[in-house]
């Protein structure tokens, strides 16, 4: 029975299947995915793993995990020392986040297209894109050339990357505002600073707090790594010594539990702050 007969009989006519035409972008994406898949297969087939006993490696890995997390023990320092070192790492993360947030707030206002004019938004966004493209540890090592390895290079390098991260986050939060509010403030004769303090910041406060606390959590994890990589101190340096110098897996397990506990506390605090805002 044809479509016309079905229509005359009062039956539903099946809709025509629309075939999407392949565009240039879809072809590029498909080719990229296929290329990455082929490279992955080639890497695994040519990887020099002939001398590796996979079963033995898996057994030793599970044994090390069991020793770390089921048999934790401190030998080279006390629980009080571990707590102090965790607070040092927390202080490093807090300091870099605070300094970075203050600097990023000003430049974020200039980078927002609805608050700034001219080439400022494009220039600032281009600069922070370059800053974010370079990992934090590389910025720390770059500044370590002049300041030397230690807490100073860690603070400057982490702050540098934090500024680049938060400028993008803040500017996008400002750009999501209702432009009608900004236009109304300008029409009433308000200055740029009055518009910022009376309209922009109050309406974006929740987003600013959320992004800042998210970066604080990231900086805490980075501060742990910088304690080992840049000699910045804190619990990361103790973990480096326990895993590489002493090779005490039980001590590494205790330090891991400390870091995990503080990370959970940060997450709970972030949730409480979000509810308050």
The full set of domain ranges for the chain reads 75-276
Q: What is the pLDDT of residue 255?
A: 86
Q: Give per-residue pLDDT as tens, 50-97.
A: 677 777 878 888 888 888 888 888 777 777 888 888 888 888 899 999
Q: Tell me the percentage of the chain whose pLDDT exceeds 70.
A: 90
* C-alpha dihedral sign at 221, 224, 225, 226: positive
This prediction's pTM: 0.74
Q: Give per-residue pLDDT as tens, 27-47.
A: 888 899 999 999 988 887 777
Q: Residue 6 — pLDDT band, cuts 50, 70, 90? A: very low
Output DSSP code: residue 135. Answer: -
Q: Is the pLDDT confidence value at 263 over 50?
A: yes
Q: Give per-residue pLDDT as tens, 176-218.
A: 887 788 888 888 888 888 888 888 888 888 889 888 988 998 8
Class for the domain spanning 75-276: mainly alpha
Q: Is the pLDDT confidence value at 17 over 70?
A: no
Q: Is the pLDDT confidence value at 8 over 70?
A: no
Q: Is the pLDDT confidence value at 13 over 50?
A: no
Contacts of residue 97, defined as CB under 8 A and 6 or more positions apart, other chains included, come to 162, 212, 215, 216, 219
State how far the alpha carbon of 83 is from the alpha carbons of 50, 214, 238, in Å: 44, 23, 11
| Distance, CA of 49 to CA of 221 (rounded, Å) | 32
């Amino acid at each position: 029975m044809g479509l016309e007969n079905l229509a005359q009989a009062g039956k539903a006519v099946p809709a025509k299947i629309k075939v999407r035409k392949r565009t240039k972008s879809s072809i590029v994406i498909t080719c990229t995915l296929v290329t990455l898949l082929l490279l992955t297969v080639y890497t695994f087939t040519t990887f020099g793993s002939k001398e590796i006993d996979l079963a033995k490696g898996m057994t030793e890995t599970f044994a090390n995990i069991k020793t770390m997390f089921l048999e934790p023990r401190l030998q080279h320092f006390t629980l009080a020392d571990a707590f102090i070192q965790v607070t040092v790492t927390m202080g490093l993360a807090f300091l870099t986040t605070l300094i970075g947030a203050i600097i990023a707030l000003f430049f974020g206002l200039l980078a927002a297209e609805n608050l700034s004019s001219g080439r400022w938004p494009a220039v600032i966004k281009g600069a922070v894109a370059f800053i974010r493209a370079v990992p934090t540890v590389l910025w720390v090592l770059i500044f370590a050339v002049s300041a030397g390895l230690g807490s100073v290079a860690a603070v400057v390098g982490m702050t540098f990357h934090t500024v680049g991260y938060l400028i993008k986050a803040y500017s996008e939060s400002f750009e999501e505002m209702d432009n009608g509010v900004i236009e109304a403030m300008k029409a009433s004769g308000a200055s740029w600073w009055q518009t910022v303090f009376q309209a922009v910041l109050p309406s974006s406060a929740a987003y600013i707090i959320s992004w800042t606390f998210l970066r604080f959590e990231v900086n805490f994890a980075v501060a742990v790594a910088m304690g080992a990589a840049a000699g910045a101190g804190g619990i990361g340096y103790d973990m480096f010594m326990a895993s590489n110098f002493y090779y005490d897996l039980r001590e590494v397990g205790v330090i891991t539990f400390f870091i995990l506990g503080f990370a959970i506390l940060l997450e709970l605090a972030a949730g409480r702050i979000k509810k308050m805002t």
